[in-house]
Amino acid sequence: MPREITAFSNPLIKSVRDLRDKRHRREQRRFLAEGLRILTEAREAGRLPVLLFFAAASATHPLVRTLVAAVERAGGDAVQTTPDILSKLSGKDNPQAVVGVFEEFATSLADLDRQASGIWLVAERLRDPGNLGTILRTGDAVGAGGLILIGDCVDPFSVEAVRASMGALFTVPVVHAEWASFLTWLRTGPGQLVGLSLDTDHDYRGARYQAPTFLLTGNEAQGMPEGYAAGCDLLVKIPMLGKADSLNAAVATAVMAYEVLAQQRG
């Protein structure tokens, strides 16, 4: 049976609230996810929170009841609480019906099967959690094998990135790697590395993509370093017909991913 916590001073509430901070996430190796849709996506992907908080008003909702039962069967803890405490945990004035605490899950390059998909996403020094979440959603939509984060990227387990991913964090494998180790791994098997760049004459729709295709998107502000561009098998650009000189990183990734998907679907 779920227990009830209604006091802000409860130490568990403070511990969970601390997960909004990166340092505490690293110490506890846990992260927050909020919202019935995201937690249901996680459950369907085989990942359950170790702690589930829900408001009394939502306790009878069928999806909430399913989550509570699944968490308790798995040995987790379900906690009924107040909307005010849910707001404190999520950092939002209008909190979602549920907030979950998940164990962080790590994936390495060695864990990846490059033959699992014809499309892979690679992001270099990605700084915006909204972009990261949107790229994950794109990866889920096109059936990408995973997202490989190169260098100093935003934390994919931050509340903002998890929220922006709309559950795709639980369906698309995420790997952290340095450029040298990624390139070494890539060259041990098949894989075409395609970089998005303005410094090329190759139109993205005129190029031919070989599966598995690894799409490399550079940093939002600085673009792709010359050394990274030199390591690509192909550089392509998306034409800009207006005054803007480039697209948002997540939008550019989505445009490219769907072009690759279109070609691979014939």
Q: DSSP string spanning the chain?
A: --EE---TT-HHHHHHHGGGSHHHHHHHTEEEEESHHHHHHHHHTT---SEEEEEGGGTTSHHHHHHHHHHHHTT-EEEEE-HHHHHHHHT-SS--SEEEEEE---B-GGG--GGG-SEEEEEES---HHHHHHHHHHHHHHT-S-EEEESS---TTSHHHHHHHTTGGGTS-EEEE-HHHHHHHHTTS--EEEEE-SS---BTTTS---SSEEEEE-BTTTB--HHHHHT-SEEEB----SS-S---HHHHHHHHHHHHHHHHT-
pLDDT in tens, 6-27: 888 899 999 999 999 999 999 9
pLDDT band at 240 (very low <50, low <70, confident <90, very high): confident
- % of the chain with per-residue pLDDT over 90: 79
By the 8 A CB rule, do 122 and 150 touch? yes
Q: What is the 3-state secondary structure (H, E, C) of 148-174?
A: EEECCCCCCCCHHHHHHHCCHHHCCCE
Length of the chain: 266
28: exposed, middle or buried (Cβ count in 10 Å: 0-12, 13-18, 19+):
middle
Distance CA 88, CA 19 (A): 12
Report the alpha-carbon distance of residue 214 to residue 248 in Å, rounded. 19
1 band by pLDDT with thresholds 50, 70 and 90 = low
Rounded to an integer, the average pLDDT of 119-130 is 96
Band the pLDDT of 114: cuts 50, 70, 90.
very high
pLDDT at 239 over 90: no
Q: What angle do CA 30, 35, 37 make, to 5 degrees?
A: 110
Assign domain 3-103 to a CATH class: alpha beta
Q: What is the distance between the alpha carbons of residues 23 and 101, in angstroms, rounded to a whole number?
A: 16
Instruction: Give the model confidence (pLDDT) of 23-46 as tens digits.
Output: 999 999 999 999 999 999 999 999
Task: Say if residues 162 and 31 touch (Cβ distance below 8 Å).
Answer: yes
Start-end ranges of CATH 3.40.1280.10 in the chain? 109-264
pTM for the structure as a whole: 0.92
pLDDT of 96 above 90:
no
In the chain, CATH 3.30.1330.30 covers 3-103
- Give the residue from 110, 90, 106 showing the smallest Cα distance to 38: 90
Domain 109-264 - what CATH class? alpha beta
pLDDT tier at 266, thresholds 50, 70, 90: confident
| pLDDT tens, residue by residue, 128-186 | 999 999 999 999 999 999 999 999 999 999 999 999 999 999 999 999 999 999 999 99
The string of pLDDT tens digits covering residues 185-211 is 999 999 999 999 888 989 999 999 999
Q: What amino acid is encoded at 215 in this protein?
A: L
Q: Is the peptide bond before 83 cis (omega within 30 degrees of 0)?
A: no
